[in-house]
Amino acid sequence: MQDYQTVRWALSDLLQSSAARHQFKTTWTGGSGQLPSLLTLHDCQTQAVALINQFQQAVGTVTLDRFEQSLAVYQQQFAEEEFWTQKQYLIWFHGKDIQKAMQRQKSQYISLKYFFNWALNEIDVNQYPDLIELQNRINSLQ
């Protein structure tokens, strides 16, 4: 599981700055229904070339070297004793993947869909310090 998660995080690093995250755009005006101030072929073509160059630069960030650098960072992080003794894997490892794999192997494990529906109605987040911390971290991202 550790190696699988290491590779997933390294791939995620590539995704963060890649064209996959920054979809190729077909307009430079800020959105649908907004026309550019200059409508000549030359001006529009110049803007299109700029969009293509931005996209190519983003795609260029997906390299084997960057993947291997990230992989080494996560290998080191996940191999440290504190990672396990302080139970940091509970934050870093994708529990959804583990749970779904367990459910496929043994059907008595509850599905996430049913668990979340139950948990939303039954669990008071304010009674659990770890859930309060998670809620605060999520709120700080907004």
99: nearest Cα among 111, 91, 88 = 111
Q: What pTM was computed for the model?
A: 0.59
**What is the tens place of the pLDDT at every residue in 99-117?**
777 778 877 777 777 877 8
Find out whether 36 and 47 touch, Cβ atoms under 8 Å. yes
Place of tokens 């599905």: 111
Question: How sure is the predictor about 50, in pLDDT bands with cuts at 50, 70 and 90?
Answer: very high
**111: how many CB neighbours lie within 10 A of its CB?**
12
Helix extents (H) in 61-111 = 64-79, 81-85, 89-92, 95-105
* Res. 61: pLDDT tops 90: no
**With the C-alpha atoms ordered 127, 128, 129, 132, is the resulting torsion angle positive or negative?**
negative
CA distance 116 to 86: 26
| Residue found by looking up tokens 């690093």 in the block | 13
